[in-house]
Structure 1
Amino acid sequence: MKTLEEQLDAAGLQVFGCCEPLSTYGPEMLQNSPLLQDFTPAEADILGASMLLVKAEPGQALIREGESGDWMMLILKGTVDITKRLDPPAGVAATGEGNGDGDAVRAEETVSRVAVVRSGAALGDMSMLDSEPRYATCTAIEAVEAGVWGRHEIALLIRDHPGVGAKLLVKITQMMAQRLRNTSNQLVKLLRAR
């Protein structure tokens, strides 16, 4: 099994050691981050010590749709675009006809923006928990710093700081439940509009 650093390297992300204490990112980080809202500065610093720091330049993918990964990240600085590939409309698939170079003609891939997120946002939590392929692509809009946890690092956090580790898992679960609730509400609105 690959280490977290090896996984991040394979994803094209450079690791810059461990994160600084999260309290150094200011009280706004703890107040505005859905993941960190219930943590004290001391607890947040324990979280920071358990994370690796990665940086990304504008245009660089942090997470790629369809890839696997058992890690998640917390955006510490910067802005990230979250996009999802959409299937082409019926009848727009590859025709099988060549373009003269032996290449099949393909429909243009459609990409839809899901969200734009800023510091304090958590990304990749679903795949970290269920090992399923990444749902969307997350690309740095501006320079980004992010703290990263893998499953192994969270297990060590739970072992060494059980209260903080349990609190982190509860917050991740709450965030995922809120996303599911929001998605369900959007689906109901779409169905009612038909």
Structure 2
Amino acid sequence: MTPLETSLEQAGLKLTGAGVKLSVYGPHWLHDSPLLEDFTLDEADIVGAGMFGARALAGQVLVVEGQVGDWMLLLLSGTVDVTRRIGEGDEVARLAVIRAGAAVGEMSMLDGEPRYASCTAIDAVEFAVLTRQAVAALIKDHPGVGAKLLVKITQLLAQRLRNTTQQLTRLLDGRTQQGAAGRGENRAL
């Protein structure tokens, strides 16, 4: 058992085995997965062969904000809450609710930096874990599929960055408008 598998089991998650046959979830699931939507069933199975499966019950934490990791997960079934701590207190902000087909943890898998957010199962979930080592093996053994996966991960990260930039721009625009309105009110007095 790898250190990652051991830590997941110690966190109370149930491992379901190495090699995940993603094609059993069907072409509709694949089409609904932003990560794998461009993959054939055979290509998805090649990716899945390097993954291992796990399950969690509602309320169990899959990913802990601040922990270092070199893996990502692909949600096979269920719903997960993605949250981040705010400031020094116990307050958390919900960043997203993800459903089957979504992937999380790509940034840490690629760069090994601490996790940006926590992921907690809202209901019973099944997920597949993909490590950086498995991606390296995929690139070596199946370069076309490995390259396709890396391109897709890059596209997903670029889309998230674009969405974050748009949200930040809206927030800053709102503050700028409030500031201008406030300055205008002061002049009128």
Range of TM-score over shorter length: 0.7 to 0.9
Shift of 1:10: 5.1
Q: Which amino acid aligns with 2:162?
A: R
Match of 1:55, SS state, is: strand
Q: Does the CA contact (< 8 Å) of 2:20 and 2:128 recur in 1?
A: no
Q: How does 1:77-96 map to 2 (within 5 A)?
A: 77-88=77-88
Q: Does the CA contact (< 8 Å) of 1:11 and 1:63 recur in 2?
A: no
Residue-pair matches, total: 174
Find the counterpart in structure 1 of residue 109 from structure 2. 128
Q: 1:70 to 1:11 in 2, by over 3 A?
A: farther
Q: Does the CA contact (< 8 Å) of 1:29 and 1:36 recur in 2?
A: no
Report the structure, 1 or 2, having the larger helix content: 2
CA distance in 1, matches of 2:151, 2:3: 25
Shift of 1:34: 0.7
Q: Does 1:28 align with 2:9?
A: no
| 1:189 paired residue among 142, 145, 170 | 170
In percent, how many aligned pairs have the same letter? 59
Find the counterpart in structure 2 of residue 61 from structure 1. 61
> Deviations 1:135-193 (Å, cap 9, x if unpaired)?
00100001111111111111111111111111111111110000000000111111111
Q: Does the CA contact (< 8 Å) of 1:81 and 1:140 recur in 2?
A: yes
Q: Which amino acid aligns with 2:86?
A: L
| 1:143 paired residue among 99, 102, 124 | 124
Shift of 1:130: 1.1
Q: Does the CA contact (< 8 Å) of 1:73 and 1:149 recur in 2?
A: yes
Alignment gaps of 5+ in structure 1 = 89-107
> Deviations 1:35-64 (Å, cap 9, x if unpaired)?
001101110111111110011100000000
> Deviations 1:60-116 (Å, cap 9, x if unpaired)?
00000011110001000100000110005xxxxxxxxxxxxxxxxxxx511111110
Find the counterpart in structure 1 of residue 144 from structure 2. 163
CA distance in 1, matches of 2:10, 2:107: 19
Q: Which amino acid aligns with 1:65?
A: E
Q: Does the CA contact (< 8 Å) of 2:60 and 2:120 recur in 1?
A: yes
TM-score, length basis structure 1? 0.85
Alignment gaps of 5+ in structure 2 = 176-189
Find the counterpart in structure 1 of residue 160 from structure 2. 179
List 4+ stretches of structure 1 deviating above 2 A: 2-14
Shift of 1:12: 4.3
Find the counterpart in structure 2 of residue 97 from structure 1. none
CA RMSD, aligned part only? 1.5
Shift of 1:7: 4.5
